[in-house]
Chain A
Amino acid sequence: MSAAVHINVNGRDVAVSAPGVKRLSDVLRDDLGLKGTKIGCNAGDCGACTVLLDGEQVCACMVPLGQAEGRRVATVEGLADGASLHKLQAAFQRHGAAQCGICTPGMLMAASDLLARVARPNGSQVKDALGGVLCRCTGYIKIVEAVLDIDGEGSGEAPPAGAAVGARLAKTDGLAMLSGAETYGADAIPEDALWLRVVRSPRAFARFTLGDMDAFMAAHPGIARVLTAADAPQNLYAILPGRKDQPVLAEGLVRVRGEGVVALVGERAAVEAIRDGDLPITYQPLDAMHDIASATASGAFQLHADRPGNILAEGRVKKGHAGAAFESCAAIAEGEFETSYVEHAYIEPEAGWARRVGQRVEIHVSTQTPIMDRDEVAGVLGLAPEDVRVIPTACGGGFGGKLDLSVQPLVALAAWLTGRPVACIYSRPESMISTTKRHPAFMTARFGCDGEGRLQAVKFHADVNTGGYASWGPTVAGRVPVHAMGPYHVPNVETSGRAVLTNGPSCGAFRGFGVPQAAIAHETMLDDLAEKLAIDRLQIRLVNALRAGQATGTGQVLEASAGLAPCLELLAPHWRAALDQVSAFNASAGERRRGVGIGCMWYGIGNTGLSNPSTMRIALDSGGKLKLYNGAVDIGQGSTTVIAQICADGLGLPVAHIEQTVGDTDLTADAGKTSASRQTFVSGRAAQLAGEDLRRHILRHANAGPESEIELAGNIVTVRDGGGQHEIDLSKLPMDQDGAVMQGRGTFDPPTIGLDENGQGSPYATYSFAAQIATVEVDMELGTTSVLKITAAHDVGRAINPIQVEGQVQGGIAQGLGLALMEEYVPGRSDNLHDYLIPTIGDMPEIEVLVVEEEEPLGPYGAKGVGEPGLIPTAPAIFGAIRDATGVRLTRAPALPHRLRAAILAEEQNDG
């Protein structure tokens, strides 16, 4: 064993016996139990592991333990002074600078290094100091604001009873993220857990045979088991009902690169020491079909028996007679568009662990969908759903990627078979290789309008490359045609979408389910028509904006809350100002030119034409503890806070009284998935009903009228109405089977009507609307684009918590900017955060968020959703702005510098 290394960690001298080359991050987490230091990449690319070494920020994943000998290491756990927050932590809390919180320890440490050198830094100093830490959630805006407001006071509003909705309440679960105490998928693995590592196919399409595994086991002591397909009672799962197509481990055939072939289970060191090549696996490669053309060619290998022609799913919407309507159009625009694979790049790679408890299995995992995880794992293990318990850990970012199973069935199966706790943590490359992507889309569009710019007809088709397995491909194929005409009133519509199975990476859910891709097409169409008719680009959108009383493409008449027109009206003065500024700049500019663009979007909240209920329960116990049992997992977007605010106002008590249990499938009712921007609208409404239900019980008990005020102090509830006052001593009330003395329940399932064969129906109970303006500067000689400003107007129905709304919009804009300018996943070439680029703190524009509140009568206090809408209009707005600056009409995302430069050169040739 190596000699002990002496280091001072957070002021405490410790001796560590571990190899000198061991990563300091692993030493902190595993030898010293300081899990606040996060690991997002193990390669210096994400900065989540940032700590201070003798006061200087470093990535702990690249520091050998030996180099910490005799030095001071400061981690997030050492920031607070006992119970009192460091002023940086308080500022982060006040500003909502942590969403999922996984980047927060690194951000805090980098910022604390800066503040030790510069007491009052300016914005560019903050960006330089924090530039090495990536955040995928916030768009960095609130992080910069927090560091600049280091001397500010307080930690957010503490609204009184009845005033929680609309308050800028700090995250109710924020403090644990700031102290490093929050536990994510990799943070609470039991000491005695076995480790599991999946051996994955290096090929996209191959048959394989397994050699002598007994001999392999004999040669590798410390390996407890090598799991293969044969070990799973039912080796198939899929998150969509009725389409189970995905094996836990491949059975002789791999359809995608990175597919799991076997899983090694054993002592951690033994598992980690084995290289994939050590395993007796022989691959016989097949001709991989990477693209749609090869997968749909006649005679192409059929990837799944029940999917002839490799067509996974199709969707369409047909209303009126688009073909005939084009005949009488004054202007027609046409185009073809293409987008790339986009990686979720949450900073927390997939992680979790499971243990067997008698005849049940318990899974602790970072997930967006505990109930589906439970049901799918139960299917794989051949257990009843009730015999699987999923306890979600904190989720370090999801964006749709953690709507699919990853480690869940593997750790559950291994724990079931070995009787030991089993853990699995994906490495960054593994996460990027084996989990889903945003669908590359190939779109053709034809839009026609009359002489005033009013849309008359739209034809649109999207083929999306869905990869080897279904995942959420069917959802994308269904959602895209509904949204593809844009947030506009169009009498004649013919739109369709088709998801094609290939040997590419499986594509699934990613913030917007295909709508961000479609928005690039429909917004370019609007710009084309505006150009043809010489109408202002904002004006043509306003003319066409869907309004209450009008029917959508699916024939659904919107009854209320159709807020695109108010968004555009609010943006109009900003638009004119931006156009003026840009033309002034361009009058004297050289190789740098500026432009302004606008993008609009709409987004149906919840599942498409399907029931998607949520149930919430709030219980009051004899000691006066008020607990909300909330099955909606918070993936950083803030649902835990927002749902508490809504529930508190339904109940009539201050939100500070509410404690929560979130997501545990044994303790909470099904609240559905955290996806489709549905939790505020659907679960929020259920929480409102639950709060109101409990209130009714209390008032009935006190025989008080509906306008009464309630107060809770200790175990006494005081109810006041008119003149009277009534006290309820909770400790005197009988306890129900849940240990509560009073409970409120609420269920909400948004009313929808499924789509018929022409895509007619009411697929969503409500829609969010938004419009964004982008100002960009393009370096004409280099093809690089900087986004200078985004002004975003979002109709959210009601902003339950304006901090969260702003945070969602800012974070969405960051992802939209990435989609527009830099994000392109190329299998095998960008399987890391070094080559796959997401926006850094320095890439973000100034952002102004304008909130429009067109109340939705069905929603809680009028609210709809904002989780996905933030990103959808951004890429179209940026593309429009680049076109304004350069004359280049972009048709392919992302607009990488070399592509834009080539287009600029081609445009110059055309002109010249």
Chain B
Amino acid sequence: MAEYLRPETLKPALEALGAAPWSVLAGGTDFYPARVDQVPDDDVLDISAIEDLRAIEERADHWRLGALTTWSDIITADLPPLFDGLKLVARQVGGVQVQNRGTLGGNLCNASAAADGVPPLLSLGASVELSSAQGTQNLAFEDFILGSRRTALGADQLLTAVILPKPRQARAAGHFLKLGARKYLVISIVMVAANVEIDEGGNVSAARLAVGACSEIACRLPALEEALVGRPCGAALGEFVAPAHLAHLAPLDDLRGSAAYRRDAALTLVRRTLNELGARA
């Protein structure tokens, strides 16, 4: 008989993980679909009752989003414009049923190439907090996702929180565009997240962009980020974007789109994301 453990605090959860292998379950929206033809028979550590993992907190120099933060939590939370991109992600994940249950931590740990949560966190300069019975470790988000469905998470670790640094400038905003072949319940063909900080003169002082579903893992656009610095923020912010800025993407052909299409669509989406962001920020 398979075990099912649902502790209410972190400590017993981490102790259990330290002692034996468990399948971790949070919102279950990736867990169950992966077992569609089966009656689940793994030993399951259900972390959903650990209330401490569900808070969204503002701290002095960063925001802390508990791993169990659901997409619906993100939609309803009172957050600054910096998080606009993340909110747009949340509104477009699955349908409301999935938003009510799916967690940020689950999305990141599942580490699908099409995980919509990944590009905005890259664009926010996030790090993740990993905990085990041995202690807690902070890891830059870029170092956490290693590949499609591969992360740096140890077998004895849980992802406990996502840490988002506050911007240096007072004016900072994020944006997100997702391309799919239908309106609701759709896996991204390409998605783009961007965050910019604007200085007092109205120019971009820092920018981060990430493109998803165009390489094994979502990737940043460093050349473009650099080229954005110093540009006046406005509705034409993205007009200068050129294919060379995206040259390092390595999209694949699949059911949802050809590699050439992805590359082409990514360029359009990056340009539009920046234009829309520039108009608002």
Q: Which residues on A are within 8 Å of B, measured CB to CB?
A: 2, 19-23, 41-45, 47, 50, 53, 56-59, 61-64, 66-67, 69, 110, 113, 127-129, 131-134, 269, 272-273, 427-430, 781-784, 821-822, 824, 826, 829-830, 832, 834-835, 837, 839-843, 896-898, 901-902, 905
Contact = CB atoms under 8 A, between A and B. Distances in A.
A272 B39 contact: yes
B264 A20 contact: no
B192 interface: no
A131 B96 contact: yes
A66 B186 contact: no
B97 A44 contact: yes
A58 B94 CA distance: 11
A113 B32 contact: no
B151 interface: no
A47 B37 contact: no
Nearest to B26: A67
Give the interface size class of chain B. 35 or more
B90 interface: no
A44 B98 contact: yes
A430 to B, nearest CB: 7
A591 to B, nearest CB: 8
A786 to B, nearest CB: 8
A327 B41 CA distance: 71
A47 B46 contact: no
B86 to A, nearest CB: 18
Nearest to A60: B97
B238 to A, nearest CB: 12
Contact of A20 (B6, B96, B187): B6
A122 to B, nearest CB: 16
Q: Which 3 A-B pairs have the closest CB atoms?
A: A132-B95, A842-B183, A131-B184
A901 B36 contact: no
Given A44-B94, A64-B25, A826-B255, A840 B182 contact: yes
Provide the main secondary structure of the chain B interface: loop
Contact of A427 (B37, B40, B42, B189): B37
Given A58-B101, A62-B33, A842-B184, A20 B179 contact: no
Nearest to A69: B6
A532 B117 CA distance: 51
Given A834-B187, A841-B184, A57 B97 contact: yes
26 contacts: A20-B44, A21-B2, A21-B42, A22-B40, A41-B36, A42-B37, A44-B32, A44-B97, A45-B33, A57-B96, A57-B97, A59-B97, A62-B32, A63-B101, A64-B25, A272-B38, A429-B37, A782-B268, A784-B181, A837-B182, A843-B183, A896-B257, A897-B179, A901-B264, A901-B265, A902-B258
A20 to B, nearest CB: 3
B51 to A, nearest CB: 13
A892 to B, nearest CB: 14
A47 B29 CA distance: 12
B77 to A, nearest CB: 16
Contacts of B260: 898, 902
A822 B37 contact: no
A271 to B, nearest CB: 10
A58 B261 CA distance: 35
B100 interface: yes
B25 to A, nearest CB: 7
Contacts of A21: 2, 4, 25, 40, 42, 44, 46
A138 to B, nearest CB: 16
B48 interface: yes
B185 interface: yes
B44 to A, nearest CB: 5
A61 to B, nearest CB: 6
A110 B29 CA distance: 17
B81 interface: no
Contacts, number: 168
B49 to A, nearest CB: 8
Given A64-B28, A273-B41, A840 B46 contact: no
Interface string B112-152: 00000000000000000000000000000000000000000
B48 A67 contact: yes
A784 B268 CA distance: 13
Contact of A896 (B100, B101, B181, B268): B181
B44 A132 contact: no
A461 B276 CA distance: 49
A539 B72 CA distance: 52
A273 B261 CA distance: 43
A322 to B, nearest CB: 39
Nearest to B268: A781
Contacts of B98: 44, 59, 132
Nearest to A275: B38
Name, among B1, B41, B185, B254, the residue most crowded by chain A CB atoms within 10 Å (CB to CB).
B185
Interface in B233-261: 254-258, 260-261
Given A42-B36, A429-B37, A781-B268, A837 B186 contact: yes
Given A21-B40, A61-B32, A67-B46, A132 B185 contact: yes
B261 A901 contact: yes
Contacts of A822: 181-182
Contact of B184 (A430, A784, A840): A840
B48 to A, nearest CB: 5
A5 to B, nearest CB: 10
B274 to A, nearest CB: 14
Nearest to A54: B100
Given A66-B6, A826-B255, A898-B257, A839 B182 contact: yes
Contacts of A47: 95, 97
A43 B97 contact: no
Nearest to B27: A62
Given A59-B97, A127-B183, A898-B262, 9 more contacts: A19-B4, A22-B40, A44-B97, A64-B25, A64-B46, A129-B96, A830-B255, A834-B187, A897-B265
A43 B33 CA distance: 4
Nearest to A23: B32
Contacts of B96: 57, 110, 113, 128-129, 131-132
Given A21-B4, A66-B6, A832 B36 contact: yes
Contact of A132 (B1, B49, B94): B94
A901 B255 CA distance: 15
A902 B256 CA distance: 14
A2 B29 contact: no
A43 B95 CA distance: 13
Contacts of A44: 29, 32-33, 94, 97-98
B40 A897 contact: no
Contacts of A837: 181-182, 186
Nearest to B49: A67
Contacts of B262: 898
A676 B152 CA distance: 57
Contact of B39 (A53, A64, A133, A273): A273
A589 B18 CA distance: 60
B42 to A, nearest CB: 8
